[in-house]
Structure 1
Amino acid sequence: MVQNFLGYGIELWGLMATGDIARLFAIDLLINPETRGTQDIHHVITAVASSSSIKSAERFISQHIAPRQSQAIACLAYSSYEEIVQDANVDIVYIASPHSHHFQNCMLAMEYNKPILCEKPLTVNANQAQKLYETAKQKNIFLMEAVWTRFFPLSIKVRQLIQDGEIGEVLRVYVDNSTGVDISKLGANHRYLDMGLAGGALLDIGIYPLIWVFQTMYHTREKSQRQKPSRVFGMLTYEKTSGTDQMVSAVVEFPASAPNGNTASHGIMATSMVLSNDPDDSRVSGATVRIQGLKGEIQVHGPVHRPEWIRIIHKTAKDGSVQGYESRDIHYDIPAGGHGMYWEADEAARCIRDGKIESFVIPWDESVTIMQVVDKIRAQAGYTYPEEIESTQYPLNLKKRTVS
């Protein structure tokens, strides 16, 4: 990171891959940070790499970066990931490749001592995540899983409400993130249907319910008091042709509730490719997250990954008995027409500026614990991916992705 004459910390980003998530990230990254109240960080994109062709990287730059970034700032296109991690004008690499390739791509970046913001899920399994964090610690390199939902002001508010005891001890959290895709219209190489890309619902969209379960029932306890799940029960339904998972339901039991640990608590998550939690796309289906405590409930409305508003419902009592309920709504706009990905980028930049190798908003041990839950769900169903993408061996030459 460099300082300019205005006092900004300027973070130079290299984007690894050029798919849809990289596009959204690039657009958000180049929105004026002052529109979201950020005064200390400024983001610049200096390189883009595509594993398929340099033309893909060049097209990405011309469509999504050049119209939003000063032409005086050079943004180079690369046809390989090896080139971008060797670029001295890249402070941090954003990895947006398929999660099947995250382990190999993160190891490559750390081989060249590049700090990393890697899309969720960080890896395919917990062993890979553990190996990445051990390597980052050994090499003293910043590494953060890009769990963007964690950094939304709405999410921060929900966590604070729980920690303040607003709804009492949280005993149960329901989360549903289901997209309602017509699988018959997807090509055989779509990431949902490609086992070689660790395709299916669980790792792609099912991570978000687990993010909510953990940020409300685990992360809201004091760090020294956080306890791993005591039991995990999961069920999977498969897409017949590809063999990928199309629907997952799971219950995660924590030995202590939040915020004080007075009793056990349950996180109940559901995800599906073929069903939808918002079937008519009008938001009338109600809350996608329900956080239930002894004194009331917090309901989260809007897409699970990009929530829009919350409703806080309290029990009203008199002389020790419940008289009724009262509620209030809080809406959260995402500034400047953004998608909400800039907040995680701000966090990564500040951590690097301050000499941190880990973000406490999504700490390493928590990322590993979430992947351990995923592993248990898969193990109960006997669900495995190809050996090469489950491996912790580096380097391995994985197959090229169809769209980079």
Structure 2
Amino acid sequence: MTESRVPSKLVDCILKNLYFDTPTLLNCALVGRAWVRSSQHGIFREIVLELPFTGHSAFATLMDAYLKTARHFNALFSEKPYLASYVRLLELRSSGQYKVPMPKVVYTATASLVQRLSEVKELKFHDFGWNTLPPLLKAVLTELCKAPSVTQFSATKFDITTFTELASLLSNMKNLKVLDVNVAYRNGTVPRSLTKSETKPRCIQLSDLRLINSYSHNGVRPLMTWFQQDWCPFEVRHLNSLETTTRVNMATLQYCCTNLRELKLKQHRSDESMHVQTTNYMLSLQLTTLVGFNTKLDHLGYTPNLRSLSLMSLMSSFEPSLHNPTTWIQSLFKPLLNPDGNPFPLQHLTLSLPIRIRPPRSDPHYWDQWTAIDVLLGKPEFALLETVDFKLSAPLGFPEIPDGARQLLREKLPFLETSGKLRVQIVNN
């Protein structure tokens, strides 16, 4: 009887879908030789090193566990270097500034392990104080940044003394495509050049950029200023996606938006925001701003091939003058209206509405505001619309939305209802 075997290419495809299920991958590695390597690719794909917090009451226990794990991987990679080459993501996490110095042995073990990694594609730092690291570990991480394989770098709650140090570190990443930085520095002055830099101006073409200054008010502006300097190695004028805060002035944003396919702007004022996501086939535009905030956002007018658009509005109270999402939606669509009624290619519109308002949703007048959207979408400019999906949800801690709300909303949207385009879904927690 002939033994039937699953083709190796099919095995690879199956196991790639299990990369986030390590226990299953460990079992798959025991199936047979043909499954071992593919399983190992998933098992060692990501390594997260979380340095023990020196202020923890059980620090000694945590440190022992950390050292045991780090030394285990170090020994394993020393014996089988090919396993280290499977690591594609390295994340280093800490608890920020330590009141009690970290024992040197922890940094030494970390540096020894990191030195084994040669094919890291994505490097992440979280809650990390760069200046608290000893010279050995700092040197090892700097060398890793220079690896040709590194194409994605993320640093959240990242503390570094000067902007010059950050610029120097980033300039080492010659093949970087994705940059996600949330930083704080004591000196944010942008230098006129970087000494001893061999990186050519505009030689690093970023495709995706995320700059959020929730950690520090001065975190974003020096970077945006640097990107516009002639000597800067990063080219950001051909980004596919950009996420930043509205504290960055529009002139600066326009510098990065020449060929932008995805944009996310965050406006922080109290806890209210509006999230807008538009998709042009595989392309998308994301905006986040305060409902009712007097900001002109007519980006849809610059997306002539837009096919799918989804909007998510967060409402904390029902005050039409300040928190009426339909007013904002109308202003967003206004640039698309034209005297000739030429249709905009939008085919699919999704409106996700987390209803945080506590008054009864059984009140018919609660939904009156959406009549204006029904009139808007009935115009010739939106004749190509095929579906309009309303997704109503009640955030955690708020009353569930009664099923009758679906019919009440439908009654306010007669055009969409009779045209067969309307779909209303209630998603309660």
Please say which structure displays the higher CA radius of gyration.
2
| TM-score with structure 1 setting the length | 0.29
| TM-score with structure 2 setting the length | 0.28
Higher normalized contact order (CA 8 Å, seq sep 6+, divided by chain length): 1
